[in-house]
């Protein structure tokens, strides 16, 4: 890949040089070396993008279901055509292991999911004698993080367009190369001008302009809980429609009847997904106290299945952290865990042997963790997992729910009815039983994990206003 300056943003159907002049360094997290720069957009650029989206809205919001499905199909094909390029950029700019092909395939899946949702969606419903019409909310600001850049852009754009909204995307500047390729794909899909605009710049600059803008009635945000609360406050002035997908501290509950040889590696897998940089990571592994020694033995044995290393090596499961800042954040939590009395079973602070460059951390497993410890309460966003014990099912549920977050949970049991019973007591937006997964089921959190839901029909409704017409 060339080491270049990305010096265009995408406004009104064209790649243009931004008014903003700040240059931001892009790093390869596996080496720590600078691989390029991106020229950041500013308030002026954001205003132009919002104006373009506003101009495009009347025509786009009047398109038929078939037109929108057609557009989503073209977007899907354009992303498929750039699959290898996107995977390479995800590896070089983010440190995604080559085996993580889902980094791009999930984006393709987002278009598939929204096409099937749109095919079946009822935009007009009858309620009593009234006709209820679901109408596009308008220009939508889509603000995304760096940890699954291609997917987040695809998912939010697909849903907004399906609803008839036009968009201004504000991605993380750390993902500028991936965003640029994604934007080229969007351009190749030949949408009407201004329907999708992409403005890479700082959150406090571009993001804030969007969240305060009177012509942007909707914000869909994925990122940290702290920034989510800032956006909530900023959006209050115009009472915007909001979806906030925020952080998590998800429990993996292994019930006492579970086959530990299957459940424990399943729990590790859910914790180490995306090198631990995942809001859905199952970072609190809850095991029955009577089986903790057995669970620890199995967990330690299976840790070798999660090797950290060069992202271009097909054997690598855990790549580097995205940035030095993220590396330091993870280190500070490992130190904190030790200070507060947790016991390191595998891993620990510092860099893994042979990986002294770049932002690699040692995949770390703690035991003797109690739910009041910092490592059990705060989102680490790295490959650091904790084993906690519980007395009985009620206690497991109590620990699982004793969190400011409620994004995801995992339950492992030999008895699926029992697992479902436990799931129905959990304060979490999604519960996976024995690894179960459904991409178009609603996604979002309870409590500090957010507001609203994404994916499928529930996600689509977030981009729609409801009008009752009574005769
Ligand atoms: P941040 O919240 O720091 O940033 C997310 C996005 O918001 C970035 O594009 C950022 O821009 C932008 N932003 C920052 N400040 C503002 C602001 N004041 N107004 C508007 N936009 C702003 O998160 P990270 O990028 O660090 O991502 C990691 C976090 O995201 C984790 O906490 C994780 O849990 C969460 N996350 C949640 C998911 C979910 O679906 N629930 C999924 C994935 C991640 P800039 O880069 O310029 O700061």
Pairing of strands 124-127, 130-136: antiparallel
Mutating to test ligand 1, I would choose from 200, 212, 223 the residue with most ligand atoms within 8 A of its C-beta, which is: 223
295/470 Cα distance (integer angstroms): 61
CA of 36 to the centre of ligand 1 (A): 22
Ligand 1 atom 45: the closest Cα is on which residue? 203
**pLDDT number for residue 3:** 58
Q: Which residue has the tokens 């220009």?
A: 139
**pLDDT number for residue 4:** 82
Ligand 1 atom 15: the closest Cα is on which residue? 203
CA of 421 to the centre of ligand 1 (A): 34
CB atoms closer than 10 angstroms to residue 8: 18
Q: pLDDT for 1-36, tens place per residue?
A: 455 899 999 999 999 999 999 999 999 999 999 999
CA of 169 to the centre of ligand 1 (A): 13
Instruction: Report the nearest atom of ligand 1 relative to the CA of 223.
Output: 30
Q: Is-catalytic flag, 465?
A: no
Handedness of CA 387, 391, 396, 399 (dihedral sign): negative
CA of 147 to the centre of ligand 1 (A): 9
Ligand 1 atom 11: the closest Cα is on which residue? 203
Q: Is 291 exposed, middle or buried (0-12, 13-18, 19+ CB in 10 A)?
A: middle
Ligand 1 atom 20: the closest Cα is on which residue? 207
Instruction: Report the nearest atom of ligand 1 relative to the CA of 381.
Output: 31
Catalytic residue among 88, 93, 173, 245: 245
> CB within 6 Å of ligand 1 — which residues?
143-147, 170-173, 202-204, 207-208, 211, 222-224, 227, 230-231, 245-247, 279, 379, 381, 407, 450
Ligand 1 atom 43: the closest Cα is on which residue? 279
Q: pLDDT for 364-389, tens place per residue?
A: 999 999 999 999 999 999 999 999 99
Predicted TM-score of the model (pTM): 0.97
CB atoms closer than 10 angstroms to residue 147: 24
Q: Is-catalytic flag, 165?
A: no
CA of 208 to the centre of ligand 1 (A): 13
Domain topology for 4-246+449-470: Aldehyde Dehydrogenase; Chain A, domain 1 (3.40.605)
Ligand 1 atom 12: the closest Cα is on which residue? 203
Residue of 22, 124, 113, 31 lying closest to 75 (CA atoms):
113
Instruction: Report the nearest atom of ligand 1 relative to the CA of 228.
Output: 2
Would you put residue 41 in left (φ > 0), alpha (ψ -120 to 50) or beta? beta
Beta strands (DSSP E) in 195-351 are 196-198, 218-222, 241-245, 250-254, 282-288, 343-348
The superfamily (CATH) of domain 251-439 is Aldehyde Dehydrogenase; Chain A, domain 2 (3.40.309.10)
Pairing of strands 14-16, 9-11: antiparallel
CA of 32 to the centre of ligand 1 (A): 22
Instruction: Report the nearest atom of ligand 1 relative to the CA of 443.
Output: 40
Catalytic residue among 165, 173, 279, 454: 279
Which 8-state DSSP code applies to residue 435? T
Beta strands (DSSP E) in 268-383 are 282-288, 343-348, 362-367
Give ranges for CATH 3.40.309.10 in the chain: 251-439
Residues of the chain with pLDDT under 70: 1-3
455/177 Cα distance (integer angstroms): 25
CA of 224 to the centre of ligand 1 (A): 5
Give ranges for CATH 3.40.605.10 in the chain: 4-246+449-470
Helix 176-188 vs helix 149-163: angle between axes, to the nearest 10 degrees? Answer: 40
**pLDDT number for residue 369:** 98
Ligand 1 atom 16: the closest Cα is on which residue? 203
CA of 232 to the centre of ligand 1 (A): 13
Ligand 1 atom 23: the closest Cα is on which residue? 223
């Amino acid at each position: 890949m060339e080491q270049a300056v990305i010096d265009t943003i995408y406004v009104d159907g064209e790649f243009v040089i931004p008014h903003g002049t700040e240059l931001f360094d892009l790093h390869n997290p596996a080496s720590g070396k600078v691989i390029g720069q991106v020229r950041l957009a500013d308030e002026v650029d954001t205003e132009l993008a919002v104006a373009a989206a506003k101009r495009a809205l009347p025509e786009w919001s009047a398109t038929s279901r078939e037109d929108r499905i057609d557009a989503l199909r073209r977007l899907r094909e354009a992303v498929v055509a750039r699959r290898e390029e996107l995977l390479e950029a995800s590896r070089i700019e983010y440190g995604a292991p080559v085996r993580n092909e889902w980094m791009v395939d999930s984006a393709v899946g987002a278009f598939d999911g929204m096409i099937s949702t749109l095919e079946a969606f009822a935009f007009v419903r009858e309620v009593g004698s009234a006709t209820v019409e679901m109408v596009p909310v308008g220009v939508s600001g889509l603000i995304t993080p760096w940890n699954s850049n291609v997917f987040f852009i695809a998912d939010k754009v697909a849903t907004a367009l399906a609803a008839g909204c036009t968009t201004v995307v504000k991605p993380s500047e750390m993902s500028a190369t991936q965003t640029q390729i994604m934007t080229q794909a969007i351009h190749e899909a030949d949408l009407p001008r201004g329907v999708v605009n992409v403005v890479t710049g700082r959150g406090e600059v571009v993001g804030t302009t969007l969240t305060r803008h009177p012509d942007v009635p909707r914000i869909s945000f994925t990122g940290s809980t702290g920034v989510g609360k800032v956006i909530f406050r900023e959006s209050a002035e115009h009472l915007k429609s909001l979806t906030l997908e925020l952080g998590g501290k998800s429990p993996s509950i292994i019930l006492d009847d579970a086959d530990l040889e299957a459940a424990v590696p399943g729990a590790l897998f859910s914790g180490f997904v995306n090198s631990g940089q995942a809001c859905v990571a199952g970072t609190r592994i809850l095991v029955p106290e009577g089986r903790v020694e057995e669970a620890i033995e199995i967990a330690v044995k299976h840790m070798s299945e999660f090797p950290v290393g060069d992202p271009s090596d097909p054997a690598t499961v855990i790549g580097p952290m995205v940035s030095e800042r993220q590396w330091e954040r993870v280190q500070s939590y490992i130190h904190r865990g030790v200070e507060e009395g947790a016991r390191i079973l595998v891993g620990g602070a510092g860099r893994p042997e042979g990986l002294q460059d770049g932002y690699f951390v040692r995949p770390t497993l703690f035991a003797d963790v109690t739910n009041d410890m910092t490592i059990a309460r705060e989102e680490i966003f790295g490959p650091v997992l904790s084993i906690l014990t519980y007395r009985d099912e009620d206690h497991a549920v109590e620990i699982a729910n004793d969190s400011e977050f409620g994004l995801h949970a995992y339950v492992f049991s030999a008895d699926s009815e029992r697992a479902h019973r436990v799931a129905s007591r959990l304060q979490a937006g999604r519960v996976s039983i024995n690894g179960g997964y459904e991409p178009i089921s609603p996604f979002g959190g309870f409590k500090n994990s957010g507001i609203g839901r994404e994916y499928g029909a529930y996600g689509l409704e977030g981009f729609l206003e409801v009008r009752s017409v009574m005769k």
